[in-house]
Amino acid sequence: MKKLTLLFIFLFSFQLFAQQQKVTMNFSVWDKNRSFDGELKNSDIEIKQGKDKLQIVSVDKVVNETLDIVLMIDASGSQEKTLEAEKLIAIKFVENVIKKDKDRLAIVKFAQSVDVEQDFSSDFSKSVNTIKSVKLQKLGKRNTSLWDSLQTVTETLEKLSSSNKKVIVLISDGVENASKTQLDDVAKYLVKMQIPVYSIGNRGDFLGIEGELNLDLISRQTGGFPFFPNNEKELQNATLQIGQFLRQNFKVTFLANNLNPNDKIQKTEISIVNQDLKKAKLRIVQPKGFYFLSSK
């Protein structure tokens, strides 16, 4: 009986090992000043998939990646009074974040559909001029298909033949009232593609609680972060912080339990366990999980 029990344990353990899958996730770390220049070791963090603590293979610091960024500008009717403010936000982002002749920036405006204002370009001055020329989208009055527009942009990024880090920066009041796509569906797609969304809320007449919640949810679920600047100084800080997130982050590789790969996000929590780092009150910004690709 004892031998059978040991055999069962061995077979179960072997099956579990065989169903483990190596996964890589990106995450950012900040301290009280929203900056962190230090290093992390495997033993400094812990990763849980549900209640299961996962084996960490490596933690690597990633700096100065070349970026492919899609800048999404809300051009719906609700921005009639605040489109010029959105343009100033977009220009400030280009000035503070984009590295000339290295990063590539595409500019789109959206309301009920997505209009490409500029395809991917490394031309700094061209991008600024393109932003200045953006006009309201006349169709649909105040209707805004935020989730549909994000879905369209993500599909474009998926088809992009580039090894650069892909990012979406969303400037909007967060209004969503016309999409066929659901928030959960587009969030799942973005997590699958490992594309973070950094949103900057444009505090016009329509940035209410619902709009803030929409921007907050899509950013936090995808590993980005939402910013809601109230003045020019806060806007300056927001764009600089987005740049810091994009220029310096971490990549963790770990073994996950691939026991139920049903095309859904596997919720994962990364936490600091090093006591000295915990005293510094470091905060981790991560996607809400990872995505198993079904084996065919």
Same domain, 227 and 287: no
As a whole number of angstroms, the distance between CA 294 and CA 123 comes to: 39
Q: What angle do CA 205, 222, 117 make, to 5 degrees?
A: 60
Residue 7 lies in a domain: no
Asked if residue 34 is part of any domain, the answer here is yes
Which of 247, 264, 279 is the last residue before a domain boundary? Answer: 247
Closest alpha carbon to 171 in 199, 132, 136: 199
User: Is there a single domain that holds both residue 238 and residue 137?
Assistant: yes
pLDDT score, position 141: 63
Long-range contacts of 129-134 (CB under 8 A, 24+ apart): 131/71, 131/73, 131/87, 131/90, 131/91, 131/94, 131/107, 132/87, 132/91, 134/73, 134/75, 134/83, 134/87, 134/107, 134/109
Contact between 87 and 127 under an 8 Å Cβ cutoff? The reply is no
Residues 89 and 226 in one domain: yes
Q: Report which of 114, 174, 111 is spatially closest to residue 140, judged by C-alpha positions.
A: 111
Residue 71 located in a structural domain = yes
Q: Of 157, 143, 146, which is closest to residue 69 (Cα–Cα)?
A: 157
Q: Are strands 45-49 and 20-30 parallel, antiparallel or unpaired?
A: unpaired
Domain span at residue 38 reads 21-64+250-291
Number of domains in the chain: 2
Residues 124 and 26 in one domain: no
Among residues 289, 270, 280, 283, which one has the least CA distance to residue 59?
Answer: 270
Are 70 and 106 in contact by the 8 Å Cβ rule? The answer is yes
Domain assignment present for residue 14? The answer is: no
80 occurs within a structural domain: yes
The answer to whether position 234 is within a domain reads: yes
- Determine the pLDDT at residue 293: 60
Alpha helices in the chain (DSSP H): 2-18, 83-97, 124-132, 146-159, 183-193, 209-222, 232-247, 275-279
Residue 269 within any structural domain of the chain: yes
Same domain? For 203 and 157 the reply is: yes
**What per-residue confidence (pLDDT) applies to 217?**
97
Query: Same domain for 91 and 230?
Result: yes
Shared domain check, 240 and 128: yes
CATH label of the domain that carries residue 162: 3.40.50.410
Q: Are residues 50 and 84 in the same domain?
A: no
Structure tokens at 187: 């969030």
pLDDT digits (tens), the chain, 296 positions = 555 454 444 444 444 444 678 899 999 998 877 778 899 999 999 999 988 999 999 999 999 899 999 999 999 887 888 899 999 999 999 999 999 888 999 999 999 999 999 999 999 899 999 999 999 987 656 789 999 999 999 999 999 989 999 999 999 999 999 999 999 999 999 999 999 999 999 865 555 788 899 999 999 999 999 999 988 899 999 999 999 999 889 999 999 987 555 667 889 999 999 999 999 889 999 999 988 765 43
- Contact between 146 and 201 under an 8 Å Cβ cutoff? The reply is no
Does 270 lie in the same domain as 153? Answer: no
Tell which of 247, 262, 283 closes a domain: 247
> pLDDT tens digit string along 101-147?
889 999 999 999 999 999 999 998 999 999 999 999 876 567 899 99
Same-domain pairing of 99 and 234: yes
Domain identity same for 197 and 287: no
- 148 part of a folded domain: yes
In the 8-state DSSP scheme, what is residue 82?
T
Question: Are residue 119 and residue 241 in the same domain, yes or no?
Answer: yes
